[in-house]
Structure formats: C-alpha cells, structure tokens
Structure 1
C-alpha cells in the first residue's frame, strides 16, 4: 500500500508533504507524491514535439514534479518518494493514481471557503474527498 500526497506548486505543498511523510513513516508505507498539470499548464512546460510519447513519460514533465517536490521537502526523507506528474483534471487524476497504486490514504491540502464559494467554484479537495475509494486526510491550510 502507499500514502499518496497530492501537491501543487505553492507554499501549501510543504505541510501536505510533511503530513504525508509522517503517515508513511508511522504506518510503514511507501510515499508517493503526485502533482497534476492541467492541459493549459502543459503547453508552458513542453518546448518540443512529443508526438507518440505518453506525456507523463516526458522528461520535462517529470522534471516539473521533481522540482516541486524538492522545494516542498523541509527535511530529507529516509527514503526517496515516488514522484509522479499527471496531466488532466486534478481531482480525477489524484483519485485514479490512488486507485492504481493501492493507496491507503490520500493526503491533500484544503482551504476554508465560504458556503457561496463552495457552491460556485469546484474544489479539487472536495472532489477528491467525494470520489476517492480510500480515506482522504486534509491538511488545513487557512
């Protein structure tokens, strides 16, 4: 089984990764870190033609994930996490990754939002909670 940390490219990634590292260590599970690029972001990352290549196997795409994780790690981990960059809808990709990799938990950040904000705007965290077949640990990010 695995602990899946879903992070974005912000300062909010550090507390999510820290909580996931703690869970993985305490439960003696592998740590997997997932970052999801939306297709519009992918255009900014790629500078060469990748026709016929799975986008998530592309070197530049993988470098994005590795750079984000390296910035988010406060202290070196005992073991290197498995890092994956996916492309598509963030909530759907996080849940699909967790299902594929036999996750025990998904760890994701969440922000407090007003009831109106919840009704008008979709939330990656909210969608992941509703769609995930495994427990989702949310890290309050303010």
Structure 2
C-alpha cells in the first residue's frame, strides 16, 4: 500500500505532501508525490526541444521533468517521498496510478472560496474525488 500525494506547481503542494507524509508515517506506508504533465505541457516541451535541438524529447525525459517538479514539492515539505512524474490527463493518470499501487489514501489540494467558506475544488481534485477507488483526503486552502 502507498499514500499518494497529488502535487502541482502551487504553494499548497508542499502541504499536500506533508499531509501524505503524516498519513504514511501513521500507517507505516511509503509516500509517492505524483506530478502529471498535461498533454499541452508535453506538446510545449516537445516544441521547445525541436526548436532548440532539432529533435523530439523522449517520453522518459518528459516524465523526468514531471518527477523533478514533484521532487521540488517534496523538498519544500521537508519530508521523505518518492517523486513520480507522469504524462496525460492528471485525474485519469493519478486514479490509475493509485489503482496500480494499491493506494491506501490519495491526498489532493483544493480551493476555498466565499466568505462562508464553501469549498470548491479545482477540476482535477474534483475528478479525483469522484473517480478514485481509494479514500481521498482533500485539503482546502483560502484564496
């Protein structure tokens, strides 16, 4: 079993990793910080690579870029976690990764709006909440 921390480039991502680390420690499970590059980001990297070098960037290299983003969030949180980079639709890739690794928990970040504090989650977090086959811990933040 594994605790999955879904990270993006937001400031809240370190909190997501830290919460996943707390769960991992409590249950004696490893933590995987997962960042997914969207197809649009992939195409942009490909275009840049072709423009700069005349060659396409290998998919493994693209995954390394995504893993490096996850690693930065792990470092920000000051915890131990395996950084994982994926490419595709973020919610689909995370749900599939959680299934493949038998996740005990999936930790996501969200957004909190309005004076009364109604929680509204971004489309990725909302899709994960709706589609995951494992318990999801959602952290809300003030905006």
Same fold (TM > 0.5) = yes
Runs of 5+ unmatched residues, structure 2: 50-54, 115-119
CA–CA separation in structure 2 for the residues paired with 1:33 and 1:70: 10
- Ranked by relative contact order (alpha carbons within 8 Å, sequence separation 6 or more), the top structure is 1
Question: Contact 2:33–2:82 (CA<8 Å) still a contact in 1?
Answer: yes
* Deviation sequence 1:52-110 (CA, Å, 0-9, x none): x6x2xx23431332244224533543x4x222211111111110000001100000001
Aligned residues: 130
Residue in structure 1 matched with residue 63 of structure 2 by the alignment = 61
Runs of 5+ unmatched residues, structure 1: none
Instruction: State TM-score, norm by structure 1.
Output: 0.79
| CA RMSD after TM alignment | 2.2
CA–CA separation in structure 2 for the residues paired with 1:98 and 1:43: 25
Residue in structure 1 matched with residue 126 of structure 2 by the alignment = 126
